[in-house]
């Protein structure tokens, strides 16, 4: 298993980024959470098989159709366990 923290920058709020990412994560059997930040970014903590995390990270670099991702900062984290993949409401 692998755990990463992603900070996604660009036009990523108000474009269904979180909802689409949750659906993609569930399809890839990734657990964790996603939330908006107070400065307009999206933040993700994700755990899954290494290959799935790599594919999910690549998807995050594109995002849903209406998103305009300019940068994704990837930080490797200590392995963590989550129940499902949830959208955390309210900015960080």
Active site residues: 18, 36
Label residue 83 left, alpha or beta by phi (over 0 means left) and psi (-120 to 50 means alpha).
beta
Where do runs of H (alpha helix) occur along 1-92?
A: 17-27, 50-62
Task: DSSP letter for 81, please.
Answer: -
């Amino acid at each position: 298993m692998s755990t990463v923290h992603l900070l996604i920058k660009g036009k990523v709020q108000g474009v269904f980024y979180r909802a689409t990412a949750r659906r993609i994560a569930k399809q890839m059997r990734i657990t964790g959470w996603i939330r908006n930040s107070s400065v307009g970014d999206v933040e993700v903590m994700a755990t899954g098989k290494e290959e799935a995390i790599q594919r999910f990270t690549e998807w995050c670099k594109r995002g849903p159709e209406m998103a305009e991702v300019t940068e994704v900062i990837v930080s490797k984290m200590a392995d963590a366990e989550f129940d499902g993949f949830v959208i955390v409401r309210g900015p960080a």
